[in-house]
């Protein structure tokens, strides 16, 4: 199982498993994701008419495309 929320979250959930011999097994889950803070980027400065760039790495823990 993977719990990978894209924002701060507190909530409850549950999961169940089926087994031919044991039957159905339920688990109640307390799901918590916490704020990881922020990363300060360097100040970018460029002369008038020129540009400056930097690379920002973002991790997407899901298999879905996310707009940021």
What does the pLDDT read at residue 11?
A: 94
Dump pLDDT digits (tens) for 34-61.
987 788 888 999 999 999 999 888 888 7
Query: How large is the greatest C-alpha to C-alpha distance in the chain, in angstroms?
Result: 73
Question: Which residues of the chain form beta strands (DSSP E)?
Answer: 9-19, 23-33
Q: Which two tokens stand for residue 7?
A: 């924002």
Output 28 or 58, whichever has higher pLDDT. Answer: 28
Closest CA to 16 of 6, 1, 4, 5: 1
Dump pLDDT digits (tens) for 4-22.
787 899 999 999 999 999 9
Task: Provide φ and ψ at 28, rounded to 5°.
Answer: -90, 140
CA distance 34 to 31: 10
pTM above 0.85, yes or no: no
């Amino acid at each position: 199982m993977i719990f990978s929320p894209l924002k701060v979250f507190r909530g409850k959930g549950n999961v169940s498993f089926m087994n031919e011999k044991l039957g159905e097994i339920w688990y109640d889950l307390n799901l918590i994701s916490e704020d990881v803070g922020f990363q300060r980027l360097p100040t970018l400065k460029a002369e008038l008419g020129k540009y400056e760039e930097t690379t920002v790495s973002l991790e997407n823990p899901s298999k879905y495309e996310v707009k940021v």
